[in-house]
């Protein structure tokens, strides 16, 4: 699966809500030591960016190992749609794709 889907992407944007019964403030998680992920995280246009490699075996960690930009957006809760978190996510997706026009993105 990695070779067929992910390895051919320039950037990966992983969209998440919180776990069941919880709610997350909108945030980006990225390994800021990876220059490509750092640029992607900052282009999302959100105030909260958490510097994190991601758990071993996670999409974010694996992408970093291959030098592919990978950021994770987390916002809202799993129990119900949070319009503000959805709006922030949509704006961030548009910002990223506009700033890196011509690059291959995987959502």
Residue 44 has a pLDDT of 94
**Domains in the chain, start-ordered, CATH in brackets?**
2-106 (3.40.630.10)
Residue 100 has a pLDDT of 78
Residue 7 has a pLDDT of 74
pLDDT (tens, 9 = 90+) of the chain, 107 residues, equals 666 777 778 888 999 998 888 889 999 999 999 999 999 999 999 999 999 988 998 889 988 888 889 999 999 998 887 899 999 999 999 898 888 776 666 55
Contact 37, 10 (CB under 8 A): no
In order, the DSSP letters of 3-72 are IIIITT-SEEEEEE-PPTT-EEEEEEEE-TTSHHHHHHHHHT--S-EEE----TTSHHHHHHHTT-EEEE
């Amino acid at each position: 699966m990695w070779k067929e889907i992910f390895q051919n992407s320039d950037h990966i944007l992983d969209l998440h809500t919180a776990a069941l019964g919880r709610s997350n403030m909108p945030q980006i998680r990225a390994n800021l030591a990876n220059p490509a992920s750092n640029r992607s995280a900052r282009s999302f246009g959100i105030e909260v960016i958490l510097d994190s490699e991601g758990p071993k075996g996670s999409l974010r960690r694996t992408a970093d190992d291959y030098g592919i930009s990978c950021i994770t957006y987390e916002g809202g809760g799993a129990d119900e749609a949070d319009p503000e978190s959805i709006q922030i996510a949509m704006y961030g997706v548009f910002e990223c794709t506009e700033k890196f026009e011509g690059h291959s993105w995987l959502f």
